[in-house]
Chains A and B, each alone.
Chain A
Amino acid sequence: MLQFDRVNLDAQTEKLRAEVRAFLADNKAHLTQPNSDFVTGHDPAFSQKLGERGWIGMTWPKEYGGGERSFFERYVVTEEILAAGAPVSAHWIADRQSGPLLLRYGTHAQRQTYLPQIAGGQAFFSIGMSEPDTGSDLASVRTTAIREGDAYRVNGTKIWTTDAHRNHFIICLVRTEAAAENRHAGLSQIIIDLKNDGAQIRPIANMAGGEDFNEVVFEDVVIPADRVVGEPGNGWEQVTSELAYERSGPERFLSSFRVFVELIRACGDDPAPHQAAAIGRIAAHIMTMRRMSISVAGMLEQDKDVGVEAALVKELGNNFEKVLPEIARLAAPERGAVQAFRKTFEETLLLSPSFTLRGGTREILRGVIARGLGLR
């Protein structure tokens, strides 16, 4: 039950790590505001450079622009760029979940259309799950897509849609058939072009001073039928599989990482005992979660279902992302060279309420783990 196998990354993967570090060192201009939160920092030029290096869509088949590399190689690239605090939000969702979703369930034509663009760092995707009256209870979505000949007419509102105002496409979970006894039936996923299909997009300011998420309104938006992902009516299975990808990566425990780095800098090379302990405590947690996360990459590599394990690492990771700044603030020196620490700490603290919400709340994840334990 809940086994996190040991993994040793091979020499090829470590060589790649060195390449990523060299690349980051050469691209300091994109790293003037390091932040390990994957939503903070939207830099299409940087994403395109990653695409050119073959670091987006790394595990996908070559025929769709992928690199046919292992999940461990992808893991190493993602953890290195997050730890450096690079701006990754532009391509992140497309690389992490929209691409894999299309690869698994999309039609050949959909794969040919979208995957090479994603892998090149040129097509960015948003997630269209949440609605004003649909949060954790995802099956309650009300946005409808009604078949009319060769097209679907879409009506409804999506909300909290990260980067909808910047990205090119959104994959929406919609009702293609009226809700019935089985509420998981009649749901589908449909690709909508955010620039050209007539979606109305309104940014929503967040409490941290950013405008990253949006309200997206569809009023009689007509979408060609071939934009339905996979089979109409199969939306629930698809969205569940997408969520496992959404929850599985190192962005679920590294969001606060730069606070840790600045804490060490602020404490200097001769820390007081309580400062050393705070640094060591944080390191112990990160070292452990990182290894668990690599175990999940290993499960993905073996094509195993990672639903429960990914939820478990996300649960540990998101909680610790919030605890980390709490430990750091009491350990950091109050005087001296603390400006960089204060800035990073304050930015992260203001973002921290979102850590245990996005991608499934803490309460929902605990439910997933409980199901894995056979309790429900």
Chain B
Amino acid sequence: MTDANTEVRQLILDSAAKIFTDHCDKPLLDAAEQGQFPGGLWQLVADNGFDQLGTAGSGTSAGDMYAFIQLCGEHAVPLPIAETLIVNSWAPGQGIASFGELSGDVIKGVAWGREAARVVGLARDSLEVTVVETPEVVEQGVSLAGEPRDTVSAAGGATITLSADPYAQAALTRICLMAGGLQTVLDLGLQFAAERIQFGRAISKFQAIQHSLAVVAAEVAAAKRAAYSAVDALDDNRFVFEVAASKARVGEAVGIVAEQVHQIHGAMGFTHEHRLHHYSRRIWSWRDEWGNEFYWQSLLGQHLAQLGADQAWPFIATRG
């Protein structure tokens, strides 16, 4: 990556971070989890061109797009922005778009399907996807994080064929969102530990808390590194396996990090009023979307078994 590109990315991330810090606050998250679409925030995102990152002519790369998705995870942005970006990369378009898993004549698990002008249905092990314009919503639902996950009709959809595995690309959005969410959970843990006083001192001074945060920091660092590996493999024939390793690793980090940081927060972190749960519930739900750890571990393990024991190391010892 050249320095000019790094600069562009930093500009995008800085201006987006400012918007999210100013607008993606607790009341907005609460309202979104009650089903109220944050149209104002969407408008800001679209006005800044963040819904077109990575598309031809945008002057930005797929890497910029995934870095932005990670930032959305950091701020728990309650919009189908990762979905819109991915759909735009498959079939250029405007407005809100989303995707879900094709199941017979419906598409399930569609983020904000009720708001989407376009929905893409995709399936495991297929490069073909179904694009549906203004689909009929069959059923509204929510994830455990209160994020809308709707079922829409696949009727009238057009089939297009992609070059990179769509299921793995869908998983990659969750990897990046988790990497961002994990960072915020760590930050909240550090902040709370520094502020909460018990026995006359900040609880961050207790060794048990320090060790817990050290474990969390190590998991978050590993998760972020694993996320980059999958993004870096986008144009590689190892893409699916790198996503597999990444989603498996990041998913494992989620369980550990959410558990430890809730423990550090005491009862306060168990309240609705505290914002920790907006992030912990999201990372919990994202690890199960688009293949949980077991699914991806098995896919990767199957591949290694076929390569054979003595090819395991050459498979692992990549250049990047």
Contact = CB atoms under 8 A, between A and B. Distances in A.
Interface residues of B, number: 51
User: Taking chain B's interface residues, is the majority helix, strand, or loop, or is none over half, making it mixed?
Assistant: helix
B224 interface: yes
B317 A315 contact: no
Nearest to A82: B313
Contact of B298 (A260, A276, A369, A370): A276
Interface string B174-213: 0000000000000000100110000000001101011101
Nearest to B303: A280
A172 to B, nearest CB: 30
Given A6-B232, A288-B225, A373 B301 contact: no
A286 B316 contact: yes
Contacts of B252: 281, 284
Contact of B317 (A83, A260, A366, A370): A83
Contact of A290 (B210, B293, B305, B316): B316
Contacts of B273: none
A376 B203 CA distance: 11
Interface in A1-25: 2, 4, 6-9, 13-14, 17
A277 B301 contact: yes
A284 B305 contact: no
B317 A273 contact: no
A205 interface: no
B254 to A, nearest CB: 13
B217 A279 contact: no
Contacts of A285: 249
A321 to B, nearest CB: 14
A284 B312 CA distance: 12
A261 B296 CA distance: 19
Contacts of B225: 4, 288, 291-292, 295
B309 A261 contact: yes
A369 B217 contact: yes
A277 B297 contact: yes
Nearest to B318: A287
A292 to B, nearest CB: 5
Given A284-B246, A369-B214, A375-B204, A9 B226 contact: no
A280 B214 CA distance: 26
Contacts of B294: 277
Nearest to B226: A288
Contact of A312 (B217, B244, B312): B217
Given A373-B217, A375-B210, 20 more contacts: A261-B310, A264-B312, A267-B305, A269-B306, A269-B308, A276-B300, A276-B301, A279-B305, A288-B226, A288-B229, A292-B225, A312-B217, A315-B214, A316-B218, A366-B215, A367-B214, A369-B217, A373-B213, A375-B213, A376-B210
**6 tightest Cβ-Cβ pairs between the two chains A and B:** A280-B301, A279-B301, A280-B297, A276-B301, A280-B300, A370-B210
26 contacts: A9-B320, A83-B317, A264-B304, A265-B309, A268-B305, A269-B308, A278-B301, A279-B297, A281-B293, A284-B226, A284-B296, A288-B246, A291-B225, A295-B225, A312-B217, A312-B218, A316-B222, A367-B211, A369-B218, A370-B211, A373-B214, A375-B194, A375-B204, A375-B205, A375-B210, A376-B210
